[in-house]
Chain A
Amino acid sequence: MCTICGCGEPKQDHGHDQTHAHGHGGTADHIHFGAGDAGTSVPGMSQSRLIQLETDILGKNNAYADRNRARLSGKGILALNLVSSPGSGKTTLLVETLKKLMGTVPVSVVEGDQQTSSDADRIRATGAPAVQINTGKGCHLDAHMVGHALDKLALEEGGIVFIENVGNLVCPAGFDLGEAARVVILSVTEGDDKPLKYPDIFANADLMILNKSDLLPHVDFDVETAIGHARRVNRKIQVLQMSARTGDGLDGWLDWLDGARTMQMAGRKPDLAAE
């Protein structure tokens, strides 16, 4: 058998030219086996082909995120993705914020943790609606999960949806949830070099909140150093300092929220680099 085209002719070379009589199927053009890398062909094994793509691996998440974003901005709702290490004070900050906003602004919360509904319970005690997402083994929220959570919320016009991500300074960095802005919370007990050690999450944030400022006298944290590091990985990042527990600096955060919400309702992405 000819090992070039698999026909029954015993001779190796019987002229594989354009007039070859065998029909190997496909188009009218001659299909020439043996033109692959090895220069030969084994019956029964197909030649491979190449497909060129430009497919974003995170494309599916980004599509869900875009859907969330369109849904929220269509109602002038400000959605914020709150990220931080575990224990930075995100939930306390949220509870104190909700106490100030309840009754004046429609607010709701999407809570992300591996297990338990402890955080959602604390939120609900303020009167604000909360949906708890338990990720199980998962280390971050993604846009698909958040989309499902939004289905369970009333989503009133001009409101704020706070998305409290899983406590993790690494993984949430790469996952767009459809938020209008991302807020990274760094507590002063964590060390002022965190923006350099975990650059991705600071690079993607719009606002950095330095929390637990009441503990500054007791730790070696240098505020200017931390801000300098954060600006090095993200020139546009805004900074607020506060103590969620004592309330110091909370007014600055409420002003920021008010400004961001006003711009969201006006239909624009908050220009968070503006001072």
Chain B
Amino acid sequence: MHEMSLCESILDILKDQAARDDFSRVRRVRVDIGPLSCVEPEALRFGFDVVMKGSLAEGADLEICRPPAEALCLSCLKTVPVRQRFDTCPECGSEALQVTSGEELKIRELEVV
């Protein structure tokens, strides 16, 4: 995916939230980027400063958290960690994994003034 347009979406959300929660500057944005989401974190970081320039979040820190990716193994019925979509189950070796988390693309916290 192209992370610049995601940063523009983040800015839209910040503006909406500013009107709702009555703040004028954002100092820090914490996001959850799941390892199985279609996003490259470093590209997001690169686009963030550019897109936030001149806005209420100019100069804000971008904190990127990576929640773990997990899948349910349909063979041994255990919930196991995965790193990519076509991993095999680390417990039983089966390929029958159903992803249960790791696709998040969320804003979790703002530090505002």
Interface of A toward B, CB cutoff 8 Å: 46-61, 138-140, 170-171, 173-174, 196, 199-200, 203, 229, 232-233, 235
Contact = CB atoms under 8 A, between A and B. Distances in A.
Given A170-B1, A173-B38, A57 B110 contact: no
Contacts of B2: 139-140, 171
Interface in B65-113: 84-86, 95-96, 98, 105-113
Interface residues of B, number: 31
Contact of A55 (B39, B106, B111): B106
A57 B31 contact: yes
Contacts of A59: 9, 13
A48 B27 CA distance: 8
Contacts of B42: none
Given A51-B110, A53-B110, A174 B21 contact: no
A170 B96 CA distance: 24
Contact of A233 (B31, B86, B106): B86
Given A57-B107, A60-B9, A233-B85, 7 more contacts: A48-B112, A49-B112, A50-B109, A53-B107, A60-B12, A61-B9, A173-B1
B84 to A, nearest CB: 7
B62 interface: no
A53 B10 contact: no
A170 B38 CA distance: 8
A153 B77 CA distance: 47
Contacts of B55: none
Interface string B1-22: 1100110011011000100010
B17 A51 contact: yes
Contacts of B23: 49, 51
Contacts of A47: 113
Contact of B21 (A46, A51, A173, A200): A51
B105 A58 contact: yes
B86 A48 contact: no
